[in-house]
Structure formats: structure tokens, C-alpha cells
Structure 1
């Protein structure tokens, strides 16, 4: 008999069903539901700017938001008074909002592919010409050497 999802003994469960089914984890369910509600309320308060942000922590009246970069953090800092009014109006007791820059979960780190950059012959010629035209000063020596190595690798 082959494997199939229809003849499995245990069907997939929702996360909340899983938490309810385990006595030790069931205590986490109210906290998970509370954080999900806070996340939803934040999206409603700042729908356009907040979509890339997530709740990082909420403790002692201080809300910490994970933001993808400093530019988003700077824009959201301008909105803190408005956010505090709106979120407190929804029943949250928030005294302060902080921001923590974090890389988004769905973005994989970029790793070298192992392949060199594909340069046209004209580009290689340009690097060769530039390495010969640069003034051979102490400051330029590392750059000249790097360009000469690049040209030598591409022409072999």
C-alpha cells in the first residue's frame, strides 16, 4: 500500500489545534492569539507602511516592531504618536514603540554562485586600458594590480 494523504492516521492540524492538543503548549495559546490580534491591529493602523513589519516583542507596555531597514524605521518613528493613540484606542496599553531592524524571513541571504561575472571582451579591454592609464602611485597600486589580475583571468 503506497503513501497517500487520504489514508494517513493523523490529518494536518491548524497551529491553534496543535497548541490546544498539548497540555504544556496550551498555555501559549492566549499569548499567540494576543500577538496575532496586535499584529492585525497594527496593520489596520498603518496599512501601507506596516506590511513589511512584524511584532518583535510586546512587554511592559513597550511594543518593539521588527522593520526591514532603517528607512522604514525612520518613517514609522514619525508615526509613533498617531500609532500610540490608535492602538491605545483599540484597547492596547502601549506606552512606547521601538523599532529593530531585521532582515525579513522570506529573503534568503545572497551567496556567491561560484561563477565569475560574465564580462564582454570590450569590458575586459576597458579594464586593461584603465589599469595602464592610472597613475602608478602608492594609493593606486592595489587597484591597478586587481584590474591586471581581472584582465589576466578573463583572457586565459
Structure 2
């Protein structure tokens, strides 16, 4: 039985068509492949044009009737992307893409698994010479204002009050 499974796997690799060849055998499959290739090309163009934080999170969702729909994970990404839409549209049009409109949609999960942010240390480490500088600054302050109160609070939490 093991020998036949190995033989079947080996035959599949050598002479059988791959998934793209199989899809291209029908009109509908060829249409799917063409659409996927088109979307991947647009995605590549986006990655070249957009700045680093956006180019990794912005995804092409749909291209239909000269309208490009892009997905971003947060409304902050959406706001930044909307500022860059004229530059993005000009770049795509100069590359030969027929484009009349770009829509932006916030995709809460972005198609990616949720990765929790590790909790940050509420009291970041301050080196000894830094604490001495804060003590000296507090001594040199002549008034009791917001800065003096903040320094008093910081030094008290660090055991230097």
C-alpha cells in the first residue's frame, strides 16, 4: 500500500498538470486566474507606491468596472490612505491601469489572525545618572508648578523623595 501511494505522488509531480493548468482548461477557471493575476499586479504596484506602514497592511479587495476597492485594518490606516489616493491613482494610471475611482474599506481583522500586544512596563527603567539629573533639576526649580509636581511624583515613586 505504501508503494502505491508513493507511486501516485510521484506520478502527480511528473506528468499531471498543476493547479493553474487545470484552472486554465475552462473559461471560468481562466477568468479566475486572469483576475487573480490582475489583482496581484495591482497589489505589487501598491507596495511600490505606498509608504512602509501602509504598503504592508493595505490589500486589494476588488477591481470592478474601473473601480478599485482597497482594504485596511483600521480607520487610522484609512485616513492616511485617503490622503495618498491622488498620488496612488496617478501612479496606477501612469502604469497603464484604467481607473476612475478608488474606494477604501476598513477590514477589522484584515484577514490576519489577532496577535495581542504584550503589556508594557508601567515603570520604564531609569538609570542612576538619569535619576540624579531629575533630583538636580527639581532642586533648581524655583516655583511649585506642574513640572515640579511631576518631578516630585516621579522621584517619590523611585524612592528618591
TM-score range, shorter chain: 0.5 to 0.7
- Structure 1 unaligned regions, length at least 5: 111-156
Distance (whole Å) between structure 2 residues aligned to residue 92 and residue 32 of structure 1: 15
RMSD of the TM alignment (CA)?
2.7
1:76 aligns with 2:78: no
2:12 to 6, 10, 33: 10
Aligned residue for 2:104, secondary structure, equals strand
Higher helix share: 2
What is the total number of aligned residue pairs between the two structures? 110
**Offset of residue 98 of structure 1:** 1.2
- What corresponds to 2:35 in structure 1? 31
TM-score, with structure 1 as normaliser: 0.59
Whole-angstrom CA distance in 2 between matches of 1:23 and 1:105: 29
| Structure 2: gaps (5+ residues) | 117-161
Deviation at 1:56, TM superposition (A): 1.0
Which residue is 1:56 aligned to? Answer: 61
Q: CA deviation at 1:22?
A: 4.3
Q: 2:110 — aligned with what? A: 104
Q: Give me the TM-score of the superposition, normalised by structure 2.
A: 0.57
Distance of 2:59 and 2:110 partners within structure 1 = 9
Q: Where does residue 136 of structure 1 map in the other structure?
A: none
User: Alignment partner of 2:42: what SS?
Assistant: helix
Flag the 1:41–1:5 CA change in 2: closer, same or farther, 3 A: farther
Change (3 A) 1:14 1:54: farther
Mark the CA change 1:68 to 1:21 in structure 2 (over 3 Å): closer, same or farther: same
1:40 and 2:44 matched: yes
Give the Cα separation in 2 of the matches to 1:62 and 1:23.
24
